[in-house]
Amino acid sequence: MIKRIMLSCALLLAVPNCGAALKAVVEALPTVIQYVQDAQLILDQIDLAAEPILELKADEALQAKYRVAMDTARKSLQVALRMTRGGEELSQDKVNEAFSSFRDSYLQLTALLEQAGLMSPGGRMAAAPGVPVITVAQPLAMSTGQ
């Protein structure tokens, strides 16, 4: 579903004078899908930065822990999406409940990265040679339930 939305947005951007249509599509996206998409992009960003560093460290135990933590975070997003049935008329309490597992798994992932020295508490990720330091934004879903 998210891939279809992204494809639709890309097509609207490619067609001249479709700025208003794109704005309408973006405004119509349910909050839940926005949270899931935002979190997936951030997890991808973390993964792209962490993988080269983990390979350089050559610590198989750390790599295994990282893969489990990343997989858990990704799967929890799918659970949240299914719990909310695509964002149909949800109360804020239901959204908070749906993303509670993601919040927990994301905190575990970032704690692992901090303990391994790959991320600072502020979200800055250490760089591998030739890779710039990046600052990871906090996912929008982390603000639910607080």
Integer Cα distance of 90 and 60 in angstroms: 42
Q: Break the chain into its structural domains and give their ranges.
A: 30-143
Q: How far are the Cα atoms of 4, 21, 50, 99, 108 from residue 83, in angstroms, in the given order?
A: 20, 29, 30, 9, 21
pLDDT at 81 over 60: yes
pLDDT at 146 over 70: no
Integer Cα distance of 132 and 124 in angstroms: 11
Model pLDDT for residues 98-136, shown as the tens digit of each residue:
788 899 999 999 999 999 888 888 888 876 667 678 888
User: What kind and span of H or E run contains 135?
Assistant: strand 134-135
Q: How confident is the model at residue 28 (pLDDT cuts 50, 70, 90)?
A: very low
The most confident of the ranges 12-16, 61-65, 92-96 is 61-65
3-class secondary structure, 145: coil
Q: How confident is the model at residue 73 (pLDDT cuts 50, 70, 90)?
A: very high
pLDDT at 74 over 50: yes
Locate 106 and state its tokens.
Answer: 């994301």
3-class secondary structure, 125: strand
pLDDT of residue 114: 92
What's the CATH code, domain 30-143?
A: 1.10.287
The proportion of the chain whose per-residue pLDDT surpasses 90, expressed as a percent, equals: 26
Model pLDDT for residues 36-49, shown as the tens digit of each residue:
899 999 999 999 88
